[in-house]
Amino acid sequence: MSSGHEAREANAPSVIPFGPQHPVLPEPLHFDLLLQDEKVVGAVPQIGYIHRGLELLVEKRDYADYVHVAERICGICSFMHGMGYCEAVEGLLGVAVPDRARFLRTFWCELERAHSHLMWMGLAADAFGFESLFMATWRARELIIDVAEETAGGRVIFGSAIVGGVSKDPSDETLMRCMEALKPARDDIKKLSRVMLQDATVRHRLEGVGVISKEKAYELGAVGPMLRASGYDFDIRRRGYAAYGEVGFETALETAGDCMARAAIRIKEIEQSFSIMEQVVAKMPAGPVSLPIKGMPPVGECFARLEQPRGEVIYYVKSNGSRNLERFRVRTPTFANVPAMVEAMRGASLADVPTIILTIDPCISCTER
């Protein structure tokens, strides 16, 4: 063996497997990290550990019963998945849900966004070794979960979306009381956000790490906080589905495109969610919360787009006029964000990999379905 050959061997990148069972990941995700010394030169993601194949289940379930399967695409944005499916089917049926249902849907969407972002903040803190911040954010999150349980009936799987409206109708007094009950959580979150954004150790771990430029983020098809953190103004809520057209909010934007910017976007959006919830409760119209739906969906297809905590999600349904839909398809935000995440990892050091993975807020369960 020539010495030149040996030298090439020594310079070849070493492959470090990351996952599927890894302390930083609550869900199984596998990466083959190609390392040159401490620097990541490439990452090959492998998914499929939690693929269930629930899109095909739409052929076996009644279209109205499928909502509870759609809710279980992911346990974190469960209400939005159920609601997105319902919006697509309602589009097929050509019905408009009652006003009160639209407002209640917006309320639960924002409740879910707040708890999802807080959950992310805790997990990210855990990923860079700030355990007390993890514990404190999850304590604040429990107050939000209590409101979910009181208004919708479920802690993580709300179970309140149905085709034609919503199945639960919390009274206006209950909603007011819930907003009161959320006040301590809001105060806690303000304090915790200061730690997350200003603490020297956190900034050291997040600033300048995993940078994605505005052009690159757009080119790679990133969505949600990943895109907004790079300075691209894109928020599906601006299209005004549900009651978003009737509430005022500013799209959170950052320009740095690093892990810190993504954290800052989510922290801004938690406060934004509370403000939207306040407006929704103040403007809550009276009336029924659901329409009786009769008959089968007509032959045709329909799209629905929502803004989930992780970004834009697209639902597609196709009906053949029978009780069972012919096709159901979801394009989830994490799937759209994976190419940008792999790009962000390139050139990062091995120790930053968990932080970068966490700041895209991956939801593997949505991605693999």
94-102, 135-143, 214-222, 256-264 -> range binding another protein (CB under 8 A): 135-143
Q: Within positions 90 to 119, which residues make up the interface with another protein, using CB under 8 A?
A: 119
Question: Tokens 């409740």 map to which residue?
Answer: 111
Kindly state whether residue 57 participates in binding another protein, applying the rule CB under 8 A. Answer: yes
Tell how far CA 201 is from the center of its chain.
26
Which one, 25 or 40, has the nearer CB to another protein? 25
- Answer for which of 3, 21, 200, 250 binds another protein (CB under 8 A) is 21
CB of 252 to another protein, least distance (A): 23
Burial of 17 (0-12, 13-18, 19+ CB in 10 A): exposed
Nearer to another protein, 21 or 198 (CB): 21
Q: Which residues contact 219 (CB under 8 A, 6 or more apart)?
A: none
Residue from 6, 14, 44, 48 touching another protein (CB under 8 A): that is 48
Per CB under 8 A, 139 contacts another protein:
yes
C-beta closer to another protein: residue 56 or 282: 56
User: Of 28 and 300, which has the nearer Cβ to another protein?
Assistant: 28
- Does residue 323 belong to the site contacting another protein (CB under 8 A)? no
Of the residues 50, 197, 256, 296, which one makes contact with another protein according to CB under 8 A = 50
Contact partners, residue 215, CB within 8 Å, separation at least 6: none
Q: Which of 33, 40, 43, 73 is the binder for another protein (CB under 8 A)?
A: 73
Q: Say how many C-beta atoms besides its own lie within 10 A of residue 220's C-beta.
A: 19
Residue 90: CB minimum distance to another protein, A: 22
The CA-atom distances, in angstroms, between 95 and each of 71, 80, 164 are 21, 19, 7
Q: Does 78 bind another protein (CB under 8 A)?
A: yes
Residue 204 touches another protein, criterion: CB under 8 A: no
Q: In whole angstroms, give the CA distance from residue 271 to residue 127.
A: 23
At residue 117's C-alpha, the angle toward residues 116 and 120, to 5°, is 90
Alpha helix positions (H), 284-349: 333-345
Choice between 69 and 344, CB closer to another protein: 69
Site for another protein in 270-289 (CB under 8 A): none
Given the rule CB under 8 A, which of 70-78, 178-186, 299-307, 341-349 is the region that contacts another protein?
A: 70-78
Beta strands 30-36; 14-18: pairing state: antiparallel
Q: Residue 276 CB, nearest distance to another protein (Å)?
A: 23
When asked if residue 135 is in the footprint of another protein (CB under 8 A), the reply is yes
Name the residue nearer to another protein (CB basis): 8 or 60: 60
157 binds another protein (CB under 8 A): yes
Question: What DSSP string describes 68-131?
Answer: HHHGGG-SSSHHHHHHHHHHHHHHHHT----HHHHHHHHHHHHHHHHHHHHHHHHHHHHHTT-H
Task: Determine if 363 is a binding residue for another protein (CB under 8 A).
Answer: yes
Residue ranges in contact with another protein by CB under 8 A: 20-23, 26-28, 48-54, 56-57, 60, 68-69, 72-76, 78, 119, 122-123, 134-136, 138-139, 142, 145, 154-157, 363, 365
